[in-house]
Amino acid sequence: MKKESFIKPTILWSMAFVVSLMLFSTTILNAQTTCTSASVTFAQFNQTTNRPDFVFTNSSPVSSFATTAGGAPVSFTFLGIAGLPAELSGPQSARAFFSCQTSVTAFVNVGRITQPFNGTCTIQIIRDVPATTPSGGSGTNLLTATIVNDPTTSDLSGDTNSNSAGFTASTPLQMITFSSDFLSFGATQTRNLALGFSSVNPLLSQNPNGFLNSFTASGAGTFASCPAPTFMPPTAAGATVGGRVLASNGRGLAKARVTLTNSSGETFTSITSSFGYYEFSDVSPGQTVILSVSSKRYQFTPRVLNVGEDLYDLDFIPE
């Protein structure tokens, strides 16, 4: 087919942390948006463990900030999106992947340390199990944000020698794009995000080479836009059903007749190519169909299937 010996955070801590991020990002939105309607926080995530999955690595001339291999396990939620199917409503089990680089050194001002970023940052929230997608994507991309940074306005900052820090980005100060297998952002005029990092270890400090010292942390975040994105409902576009008919030696069987019988009893025929391939296009999704093969040399067991997305691996092997 188309194709941890760390203590878990308490529920109270998690809720307070996410709420504070939402308030912070809303402040940014109200201050900078030019959209005529109210700015909307449409999604949020928080780690499901307090593991230090976000890692800042000090290196000169370029330092990096990224998640550990395999990403950070998170609970992700769409907020206030009309029309979401039950499968996408409520907390989604997912992994967060963050990647960012910088060649600009940090600075300290009045007890606050700031690490500017001048490289492109990406954060992806990938669903653990694929969901039905109307967009034709993988069904796992809950949200991807790409931030093209301006080092004069893009930074990770916190109090010197503290165990928490924050990263915010907001258009037009940064160029931000959102994408998802499930939402459309075509009408959005402003896009914003706020990431918060806790349990920073060791505490925030500056290295003699100018960058932040290496540290690990856990994270949470919110995403907002104006207006809010919309859910992309399934389309009525037809699906493609296909595969290969094989001979007993494993080679493709040419000129075999493959018949598709739809739920209304209508039949459609495809003759296999010289390599045994067959295909039916524009098959209405949401129905049950029967595929059968006729050959003078071999017998094949018919296949019954439900049509959803495109199917390209429906191979037939002789009995």
Instruction: Please check whether residues 275 and 140 belong to one and the same domain.
Output: no
Q: Which pLDDT band holds residue 10 (cuts at 50, 70, 90)?
A: very low
Q: Which pLDDT band holds residue 15 (cuts at 50, 70, 90)?
A: very low
264 Cβ neighbours under 8 A, 6+ residues apart: none
pLDDT above 90 as % of the chain: 55
pLDDT at position 12 over 50: no
- Whether 317 is in a domain gets the answer no
Mean pLDDT of 76-85: 94
Instruction: Please check whether residues 263 and 131 belong to one and the same domain.
Output: no
232 Cβ neighbours under 8 A, 6+ residues apart: 134, 135, 182, 183, 184
Instruction: Please check whether residues 280 and 226 belong to one and the same domain.
Output: no
pLDDT at 270: 92
Does the pTM of the predicted model rise above 0.85?
no
pLDDT at position 54 over 80: yes
Cα-only R_g, the chain? 25
215-227 pLDDT, tens digit per residue, is: 999 999 999 999 9
Residues 117 and 239: their CA atoms lie apart, in Å, by 44
Q: Please, are residues 183 and 137 in contact by the beta-carbon 8 Å criterion?
A: no
Write down which residue in 231, 260, 275 finishes a domain. 231
Instruction: Please check whether residues 187 and 268 belong to one and the same domain.
Output: no
pLDDT at 39: 75
- Long-range own/partner contacts, residues 283-287 (CB < 8 A, 24 or more apart): 283/238, 283/239, 283/240, 283/241, 283/307, 284/236, 284/238, 284/239, 285/234, 285/236, 285/237, 285/238, 285/239, 285/309, 287/262, 287/263
Instruction: Please check whether residues 164 and 222 belong to one and the same domain.
Output: yes
Write down which residue in 179, 198, 231 finishes a domain. 231
Instruction: Please check whether residues 206 and 273 belong to one and the same domain.
Output: no
pLDDT at 234: 58
Instruction: Please check whether residues 221 and 254 belong to one and the same domain.
Output: no
What is the number of domains present in the chain?
2
Write down which residue in 231, 258, 275 finishes a domain. 231
Instruction: Please check whether residues 48 and 186 belong to one and the same domain.
Output: yes
pLDDT at 37: 57
Instruction: Please check whether residues 214 and 255 belong to one and the same domain.
Output: no
Candidate ranges 102-111, 168-177, 181-190; pick with highest mean pLDDT? 102-111
Question: Rounded mean pLDDT of the chain?
Answer: 84
Q: Which pLDDT band holds residue 89 (cuts at 50, 70, 90)?
A: very high
pLDDT at position 214 over 50: yes
pLDDT at position 308 over 50: yes
- Whether 194 is in a domain gets the answer yes
Q: What is the dihedral of CA 272, 274, 276, 279, to 10 degrees?
A: -40
125-171 pLDDT, tens digit per residue, is: 999 999 877 655 678 999 999 898 777 777 899 999 999 999 999 88
Give the range of the structural domain holding residue 56, as residue numbers without chain letter.
11-231
- Whether 313 is in a domain gets the answer no
Instruction: Please check whether residues 173 and 121 belong to one and the same domain.
Output: yes
- Whether 186 is in a domain gets the answer yes
- Whether 50 is in a domain gets the answer yes
The enclosing domain of 288 has a CATH number of: 2.60.40.10
Copy the structure tokens of residue 2: 């188309």
- Whether 316 is in a domain gets the answer no
Instruction: Please check whether residues 68 and 187 belong to one and the same domain.
Output: yes
Instruction: Please check whether residues 175 and 275 belong to one and the same domain.
Output: no
Q: Which pLDDT band holds residue 201 (cuts at 50, 70, 90)?
A: very high
- Whether 315 is in a domain gets the answer no
pLDDT at 96: 97
- Whether 3 is in a domain gets the answer no
pLDDT at 307: 79
